Structure 1
Amino acid sequence: MRVAICDDDRESCARLRSLIKKQEPDCEVACFDTGKRFLEAKGHFDILLLDIQMEEISGIEVARILRINQEKTILIFVTALKEYAAEAFEVSAFSYLLKPVEPEKFCRVFQSACREVRKMESAGGSQLFFQTRARSYVVQKKEILYVESHKRKVEIHTLGENITIYATMKSMEELLGDGFFRCHRGYLVNLAYVAEYGTGAVRLKNGENVYLAREKYSEFAKTYTKYLKTV
């Protein structure tokens, strides 16, 4: 498991690192003193402990960038600022801890975050984990009908409900992979639910229509024909 601490206070970083190592000795822990350095780091981090008030770029903005890139990193804000709690949960924060952090409370939150990481790992690629300010979601890929763009957010239309998260269509396209097709700049459709298609639209089995860009028509037809041969 890879854990990152992003905080310009060296003492705080050292204290958090010590608490993590006591609980999870095998964890790989990396410390960053600016949000920019963290964002430039290579590789995925399972958990990020993030301060808010830092130079160059705030912790809230770091979190927004992560979510737009559809990073599944579990975010735990560790800050002295009370007033950003609402914004923190808008970027799907797992928890919001105030400094000075009580060791026992930190341990409970961190262990809970570790359990979420292991749950996602065991689910593999068939399940996706999304978190909004209101709640957490575990979604089966096969239950996603289509994804719709809404500026800096996307709306995931599933068989049961619609989920709005911070993400880009490009990141969702990469996340969902084969079986989904970007039929329009604002729409990504699950080929399993296509009932019919024609110039300008794809009709889904539930009766909904999504846009099919004219320049995408030929590519969509070839991809869908190829898909039908595999099912």
Structure 2
Amino acid sequence: MRVAICDEDKESCAQLGQLIRRQEPECEVMYFHSVGQFLEVRRHFDILLLDIQTENMRGMEAARALRISGDDTVLIFVTARKEYAAEAFEVSAFYYLLKPVDEGKFCEVFQGACREVHRLENARGGQLFFQTKTRNFTVQKRDILYVESAKRQVEIHTLKENITVYATMKHMEAQLGKEFYRCHRGYLVNLAYVAGYGNGTVRLRNGENVYLAREKYSGFVKTYTEYLKRKGAALV
């Protein structure tokens, strides 16, 4: 799960980050100390913790920009300003927390936000949402052939096009689920498009080959066999 914290107060950012990692150690947490910095990144976050009281109230502006773009990030305002609570509902905020933050209340709200993230994922029916510098888009999981690591980015190979986005392989592996297998540290393959395997490669139905690491071989065979059984394939 990917979480963003946008707050000019570095101590507040650190406190919230500690509370998050205490509950969800595997969370990827990114810190932004200005709204401008956050908007420049143009990455999708599952949860955004946002202070309204930044740069002449640009926190609300950032929230509106997200919603206009179609981003369904679970939004939690964390602020000392009570008077903007009504506006928070205009941008479909999940919760409005007042500073100083009560740790017990924050943990309760954050767990609720995590449940909302999972609900949204299920509602999307197998879609992934991405942002680049030029556009926002969704990708159907069923259209992904494989994912390839590219330094700090990943390249998503789909039936129609290749898309490069800022993400980690670990994040993609978690998002794509059991229909995909990490056959190499640099590759995630969609089991639905596997045509065969051997000699250090996985052969896809479109004729492409991706690397199959030696240490991943037995795990891949087991996972792929289980996948075929789930799909009702006859094994000989």
Cα distance in 1 for partners of 2:199, 2:4 equals 48
Q: Matches of 1:198 and 1:35 in 2, distance apart?
A: 48
The separation in 2 between residues aligned to 1:222 and 1:212, in whole angstroms, is 14
- Deviation of residue 152 (structure 1)? 1.2
What are the residue-to-residue correspondences of 1:35-184 with 2, within 5 Å?
35-42=13-20, 50-52=32-34, 59=37, 71-73=45-47, 99-100=55-56, 108-109=64-65, 111-112=67-68, 116-117=71-72, 121=120, 123-184=123-184
Tell me, yes or no, if the aligned pair for 1:201 and 1:209 is still in contact at 8 Å: yes
Q: Deviations over 1:137-189 (max 9, x none)?
A: 10111111101011111111111111111211111111111110000010000
SS at 1:157 equivalent: strand
Tell me: CA distance 1:78–1:152, structure 2 relative to 1, closer, same or farther (3 Å).
farther
Contact between 2:13 and 2:31, CA under 8 Å: does it hold in 1? no
| Partner Cα distance (2:73, 2:53) in 1 | 26
RMSD: 4.1
**Which consecutive residues of structure 1, in runs of 5 or more, have no partner in the other structure?**
10-31, 81-98
SS in structure 1 of the partner of residue 142 of structure 2: helix
In structure 2, how many angstroms separate the alpha carbons of the residues matched to 1:104 and 1:172?
A: 30
Counterparts in 2 of 1:202 and 1:191: CA distance versus 1, 3 Å: same
Q: What SS does structure 2 have at the residue aligned with 1:177? A: helix
Q: Does 1:211 align with 2:211?
A: yes
Aligned residues: 177
- Structure 2, gaps ≥5 residues long: 75-116, 232-236
What is the SS of the residue equivalent to 1:222?
Answer: helix
Matched residues in 2 for 1:171 and 1:197: separation?
25
With the length of structure 1 as denominator, give the TM-score of the two structures. Answer: 0.61
Cα distance in 1 for residues equivalent to 2:214 and 2:4: 44
Change (3 A) 1:110 1:186: closer
Aligned equivalents of 1:71, 1:107: Cα separation in 2 = 13
Rounded Cα–Cα distance in structure 2 between residues aligned with 1:103 and 1:145? 38
CA displacement 1:195-225 (0-9 Å, x = unmatched):
1111210010111110001111111111111
Partner of 1:221, secondary structure, is: helix
Closer, same or farther: CA 150–34 of 1 in aligned 2, 3 Å: farther
Kept in 2, the 8 Å contact 1:35–1:59? The answer is: no
Aligned identity (percent) is 51
Residue identity opposite 1:186 in structure 2: G
Compare 161-170 and 172-181 and name the one that shifted more. 161-170
Change (3 A) 1:110 1:156: closer
Inter-partner Cα distance in structure 1 for 2:66 and 2:182: 37
